[in-house]
Amino acid sequence: MSGVTILDIVAVAWFFLMTIGYAFATNKGFLSHGGIVQAINQRREEWMANMAMRDNRMVDIQVLANLARGNSFFASTSVLVTGALAALFGSVVELQLLAAKFPFLRQTTVFMWQMKTLFLMGIFIYAFFKFAWAYRLSHYTGIMIGATPIATAKNKKQCADHAARAAELAGNVGRHANAGLRAYYFGIATLGWFIHPLVFMLTTLAVVLIVYRREYRSHALATISGTSAP
């Protein structure tokens, strides 16, 4: 028998409802304005506008390189985590026997242990592609910075348009990196499924609330946007 229960199906459906629903709400829905992502995008626009007025842009390149290293780190970590989960997938029989010694863990079949492991692997593979693309886009943003015309009295509009495009590209870097970080958060929530589907549903909800608090109700948002703390 596969060991799949109605509760497992409901828990997975709840996970996708929470993750996809939150992503839609923050990108195109009622939460698409006023969050920390939008606030930092405004600072990116200011950054690139200031960059276009400078003759020496080495500082801008160095800042961008530091940001890109963070994406590279998380992309590499995603590969390591995926490899560890692949090793775990080959040892699920031993894992099931070990789990039987813990009364608080819900006992299930080897097939379900494999499915849970594959599900978790899929989350970190998704995170890898997000961080890898963000890293690649960082390179493109650096090229855009290098290609910014030297500002003169005659080409101010050209410089401003180029800076706006560079800011938009930098915003895409942040958007994909943010999606990768959320995948990490929800990957941690998925660990609850190894205990019980209801725990999985609760940890997923908890992560959504934590992410919402940090992106829309945090002191960091107030500092970045220049508004009063919530």
pLDDT tens for 210-226 read 999 999 999 999 999 88
pLDDT less than 70: residues of the chain: 1, 99, 104, 228-230
Domains in the chain, number = 1
For position 88, what pLDDT does the model report?
87
In a domain, 193, yes or no: yes
Residue 1 lies in a domain: no
Place of tokens 């908890």: 206
Q: For residue 27, what are the domain limits?
A: 6-225
Q: What is residue 230's predicted lDDT score, i.e. its pLDDT?
A: 55
Is the CB of residue 186 less than 8 Å from the CB of residue 123?
A: yes
Residue 29 gets the label, from left (phi > 0), alpha (psi -120 to 50) or beta, of: beta
> Is 182 within a domain?
yes
In-domain check, residue 29: yes
